[in-house]
Amino acid sequence: MSAVFDYAQGIGKKASPVELAQGDFSKSIEEGDTVEMAERPEGPNVRTVRVVRDGRVVALIKYRRGTGGGWVPDFYEVCGEF
């Protein structure tokens, strides 16, 4: 499953993308899951967070930098078990 967030130019939240993902997807992230930045940034204004469960990536969550310098959700793709 995947989704694109449709936001007007947002200011964004000042927390890190990892912290935002932990809050935005708190109902889906399970104890023992690893929530971390993906290895390669796609540029200075985009960050991808991944959720790893039992050694498998079960979610990719992209954030883009908002107009105020914070981060806003942009796109996510998840496995059925997430």
- Give the SS3 label for residue 19: helix
Q: What is the pLDDT of residue 10?
A: 56
CATH number of the domain that residue 25 is part of: 3.10.450
Contacts of 82 (CB under 8 A, 6+ apart): 28, 51, 53, 58, 59
The per-residue pLDDT of the chain, averaged, comes to 86
Region at 14 (left for phi over 0; alpha for psi -120 to 50; beta for the rest)? alpha
Number of domains, the chain: 1
Print the domain residue range for 40: 2-78
Distance from chain centroid for Cα 61: 3
Residue pLDDT, tens place only, 27-65: 999 999 999 999 877 788 999 999 999 999 999 999 998
